[in-house]
Amino acid sequence: MRAPFPRLSRATFVVAIAALIAGGCQTEPAPGESDGPAAAMDAAGASGAAAAGGEAATASSPALAGSEPAAGASEDPGVDRAGRRPNVILISIDDLRRDRLGFYGAERATSPLLDQLASESVVFDNAYSTSSWTLPSHASMFSGLHPKSHGATLQFTKPRADVRMLTEILRDAGYQTAAVTAGGWLSEGFGFEKGFDAFESHLAPGRGVRASLAQAKAFDPERPYFLFFHTFGVHCPFNVPPKYEKMVGPHAEAARFDVKGMCGDTHFMKMDLSDGQIAYLSDLYDAGIRRMDDFLASLIGFLKARGDLDRSILVVTSDHGEEFREHGRMGHGRALYAESLRIPLLVRAPGLEPRRVSVPTSIVDLTPTLLDLLGIEAEGMEGTSLVPRLREGDAADAPRPVFAETTLRGEKARSVVFDGRQLIVDLKNDRIETYDLVDDPEQRAPLAEGTRASAPASPLDDLLAAHFADHAEEPEAVVEVTEERLEQLRALGYVE
Ligand SMILES: [Zn+2]
């Protein structure tokens, strides 16, 4: 059963956005980062901010949002009244666990902005990533291919040269394209820059939001655009201003320790952390989500005030979750349990009625879905369009198996979710586990377990074997990175 959670009323939301735009809702800058949401607004330029402020209170009404006709009035998400395709705005909040968000049942007020967006969107309650770390997951998001097929499965690899990315397809269809990523595995050189007219990387979330606002403002208003914003705003190291710790409290104060510079399993797995300290890290994680929600409020508020939001397909999602020792580990990337694989996924688009979809769904379906919404053909993809589910919900089509895999730092595992169960095969340790996701969603005790030789046979075995039958063993592409990027990957806990 889902826990109750707070929602902002529409009126409260509009007032909050107006206050943000007017600079009346200052947030404390993060350590090492002097910019907050209000500063992000400034980057869009004084005239843009002023115009946004003037329109904020009425932005939810297309007729009052601006002089241009709003595409929101169209029945068809593929085109607006002028026959123009909508913009595509893809927001990937790296490392964001589904269960820590209000609209997925979290009791803490971590996500007022995202909760409001979710109430206007199709929300996928059981969305899964294709992997538990950044590079293979994002490559699936952009290619419609599973990691075994796009090839970016190991550190310092990238998708095969012949893999067509969403951005390239949109650019060929006439879209202006701009990306602002947080770097790391999404730095230039890992293949994500393909098709982008502009590609920036900014580690600090505030700078990323500011750059995204500037990119949005620079687009030619006569042509549709694709804006991709990726952030490490909730990723460790969990340096969050105390204000946000208090906002999501109560807090594990007694276990407070200095987490500066500590990240992932390169640090936390090697420390003898007490239960209280793990709870403290988990609290900081929630606080980081609350801060990121504030940053996003400035970006979404700006797009809404300009009338862009109602002319856009907006997707908010993540690439994987984060572990807090639920199954013995900290960080992410080496296991495929729910806390690592389950992600938020919401789609807000002109003509789409808000609804919840509970059938398991994969991030590999995202690119085929966007292209289907836009009436652009998707060729050679393994993902399947979610447009029937967007329009009709669970009854739209038959459930499909959802696959995932990871290879990171010596670990190698595969997973399939189907028919209320998850099969996880740990290839390194020769361990197989099957979980009942209905009765045991947190995966506390496997229904069946054993080695590959001893575990009882399951119908999921055949699904997994068929999926990986054409698996290429090792990817060929090797990416060279600068020492600066390497240092960033170390700081994010990926490289020792
Ligand atoms: Zn990630």
pLDDT tens track for 398-420: 999 999 999 998 899 999 999 99
Q: Which of 207, 253, 205 is nearest to 232 (CA)?
A: 205
Please report, as a single letter, which amino acid is at residue 426.
D
Q: Cα of 94 to ligand 1 centre, how many Å?
A: 5
Chain-centroid distance of CA 117 in Å reads 14
Query: Is 388 contained in some domain?
Result: yes
Q: Cα of 334 to ligand 1 centre, how many Å?
A: 12
Check which CATH number belongs to the domain holding 355 and give it. 3.40.720.10
**Number of domains within the chain:** 1
Alpha helices in 145-274 (DSSP H): 147-150, 166-172, 205-218, 242-248, 264-267
Range(s) of the domain holding residue 303: 10-401
Q: Cα of 416 to ligand 1 centre, how many Å?
A: 20
Q: Cα of 320 to ligand 1 centre, how many Å?
A: 6
What does the pLDDT look like over 315-353, one tens digit per residue? Answer: 999 999 999 999 999 899 999 999 999 999 999 999 999
Q: Cα of 90 to ligand 1 centre, how many Å?
A: 15
Residue 387: how many CA atoms within 13 Å on its side-chain side?
17
What does the pLDDT look like over 377-394, one tens digit per residue? Answer: 999 999 999 999 999 999
Query: Is 478 contained in some domain?
Result: no
Query: Is 470 contained in some domain?
Result: no
Query: Is 271 contained in some domain?
Result: yes
Query: Is 436 contained in some domain?
Result: no
Q: Cα of 129 to ligand 1 centre, how many Å?
A: 10
Position 253 scores a pLDDT of 72
Q: Cα of 134 to ligand 1 centre, how many Å?
A: 3
Q: Cα of 375 to ligand 1 centre, how many Å?
A: 30
Q: Cα of 456 to ligand 1 centre, how many Å?
A: 34
Average pLDDT rounded to a whole number, residues 234-260: 83
- Residues, CB-to-ion distance under 5 Å, ligand 1: 94, 134, 319
Q: Cα of 333 to ligand 1 centre, how many Å?
A: 8
Query: Is 256 contained in some domain?
Result: yes
Query: Is 473 contained in some domain?
Result: no
What does the pLDDT look like over 287-307, one tens digit per residue? Answer: 999 999 999 999 999 999 999
Query: Is 169 contained in some domain?
Result: yes
60, 304 Cβ separation under 8 angstroms: yes
